[in-house]
A and B are shown apart, each in its own frame.
Chain A
Amino acid sequence: MSWRLRLERSVTPSRTTVLLVSLLGVVAALVFAVPVFWAYKVSPWTAYTTIAQRSFGSWAGFMEVLRRAIPLMLCGVGLALAFRARFWNIGAEGQLLAGAVAATGVALFTKIPAPWLLPAMFGAGFLAGALWGAVPAVLRLKLGVNEVISTLMLNYVMIYIVEWLVHGPWKGKTMRGFAYTDFFPAAAQLPLIPGSRVHWPTLVIAVAAALVVALVLSRTRLGYEIRVVGQSTDAARYAGIDFLKVMVAVMVLSGGLAGLAGVGEMAGVHYRLRSPTHISMGYGYTAIIVAWLARGSPLAALFTALLFGLIFAAGDIMKASLQLPAQIVGVFNGLILFFIIGSELLLYWRIKWERGWTGKPGSSGS
């Protein structure tokens, strides 16, 4: 007779448990990041306090967190929606860039009068992102193409399209040897919160988008269908739900929101199309963690986006005041994601010690 560890499915965990366990995951990641600081001969305590002081400790710092969080909010809300339908959209990065390209096209090459120019850019950006997102949905349902692969590959396709545009046909006349388009006209630039770099109209759109998506999910027929598809394919089939319609709708919204994020980065931060690594720096990939940590809730994604906005801002702070390389952000993100999914076991399983019987079928550990 011996004692052994046994796992048992737990009932749906409470919100407090989810929050606590998620926080635990984040803290564990911060602890595990300590050797990275040691490797660069920086005291982790100094690093974390510096980050805290210069982010949430000052108005300007908080504004930077907010600015970084805007694209993460838009992409994160869209991905939360996609994950609810169990559609693995790993392509927010490409969808964001598609939006950036469309915004640039409208800003530089159309003659839309001033008050309508920015709305037209957002409209075009949404459509471009939606198109880039809907293609994998159609491919999956018509031809069974795994969406993880197709969305990922479309990221690379869009990255190289942007590279081509800024090196070739759209290269700015005033930019000498550099790979930029020309600057946008003033009418194509978003207003900022004074004394900061926060392009507030995009922030408003992001919050509105989260509310709309939350309403769609909880109050509409489409939302009901999305939830059924996400919970059980069989149930959805019996209910006669049109998978193609639901998935395309989900990905039009998901990709479209990422496209809006791209417009915001163009019209609010860069004012010109440039090399993709400078436009996004992995917002689309980080948004996967944002959506995952929010457990598919669009409203929670607004807050988890703030957390990762903080990490991006912390990357800037560490670079500027501690001379740490920018890649540290990627390490943080990877660690946090690891610990969050690792801690999920604590959420959905109860760990029990029990007496093991000999001779009972299936009593050996697995």
Chain B
Amino acid sequence: MDWQTWLIGIVGRALAYGTPLLWATLGEVYAERAGVVNLGIEGMMAMGALMAFATAQTTGDPWLGLLAALAVGGVLALLHAFLTVTLRANQYVSGLSLTLLGLGLSGLLGRGWEGIALRAPLPNVTIPGLASIPLLGPMLFQDESILTYLGLLLAVVLWIVLWRTRWGIVIRAVGEAPGAADAVGINVALVRYLCVVLGGLLAGVAGGYLSVVYRPAWTEGMSAGMGWVVIALTIFASWDPLQAVGGALLFGALYHLSFRLQQWVAPELLKLMPYAFAIVVLAFVGLGKAQRRRGAPAGLGLPYVRGER
């Protein structure tokens, strides 16, 4: 195999596998920017995957499936927001219970859907014209999901909103200094609710992508720890939507490599690569931390109570 085919394969597949990571990471970036960690991504993705599959299989429309995934992700995130913002519960524990619940519930409800091939998967697209550019064409514009391009577009939009609009200032203020934000009349709770729910919507779609696009079938536990990788990616991306694109592609490429190398290394050892790599990456991020602050929102993880520090 020549190097061009290799490169085309790796970039193309990195995009395909990086897409769910990107969607979910973008959502988590916004939730954490507003000061709320959501460790429930894995559970929301699992429920999103199941709902998308069941809906697409029943109605025959993959877009309705993705809509269902979007909705279920949003509802689950609303639960997290209620517990952490209104009831001021510990964010880590609430997120973990969301994951436990999502994985358990999707396993329970999904038993009847196990092992069926989806009758209406969302087909990939090839962009006419652009796809015929040498090397770049087949790498970026051939046989990719439309959700990949939507995800990239979303990253740009969310970057602009976060850094170039008043809304972005409000969100960042709520995450950095909720007390100050409250003092200037920002509704801290509302902003946190909205950002957490946005995170859930995107995580739901990420799950839906897995069962309707990437591997059009439902298997229990098909999110396979991706939700946790997303939490690591959020830190790796310094809570920035555009840097999330790079991170998602890097891990997408890594997942793909773990298939490619199977002829030389035991598949089980390759599967642990992304997880080990996530730790290594964060360790390297930590090495640079001494020089400059990495931009974690100062109010991250803390419930906001008026009148308390």
Contact = CB atoms under 8 A, between A and B. Distances in A.
Chain B binds chain A = yes
Interface of A: 7, 9, 36, 39, 88, 90, 139, 142-146, 148-150, 152-154, 156-157, 159-161, 163-164, 167-168, 285, 288-289, 292, 325, 327-335, 337-338, 341-342, 344-345, 349, 362, 366
Given A161-B269, A332-B104, A344-B87, 12 more contacts: A88-B92, A143-B287, A145-B286, A149-B279, A157-B272, A161-B268, A330-B101, A334-B43, A337-B96, A344-B90, A345-B89, A366-B182
B98 A341 contact: no
A334 B98 contact: yes
A322 B195 CA distance: 42
A343 to B, nearest CB: 9
Given A148-B39, A160-B271, A327-B104, A341 B93 contact: yes
B272 A338 contact: no
A149 B232 contact: yes
Given A146-B235, A325-B108, A327-B104, A342 B87 contact: yes
A160 B272 contact: yes
A366 B188 CA distance: 7
Nearest to A9: B308
A156 B307 contact: no
Contacts of A7: 305
Contacts of B107: 325, 327, 330
B307 A149 contact: no
A168 B271 CA distance: 14
Given A160-B272, A331-B104, A362 B306 contact: yes
Interface residues of B, number: 55
Contacts of B306: 362, 366
Interface centre among B39, B104, B225 (most CB of A within 10 A): B104
B289 A144 contact: yes
A112 B88 CA distance: 53
A146 to B, nearest CB: 6
A334 B232 contact: no
A150 B282 contact: yes
B298 to A, nearest CB: 14
Given A145-B282, A153-B279, A345 B88 contact: yes
Contacts of A168: 266, 268
A366 B101 contact: no
Contact of B90 (A149, A341, A366): A341
B105 interface: yes
A343 B196 CA distance: 21
A145 B279 contact: yes
Contacts of A344: 87, 89-90
Contacts of A341: 83, 87, 89-90, 93-94, 97
A331 B105 contact: yes
User: Could you say which of B225, B268, B287, B306 has the most chain A C-beta atoms within 10 Å of its C-beta?
Assistant: B268
B96 A167 contact: no
Interface string B183-200: 000011100000000000
B97 A337 contact: yes
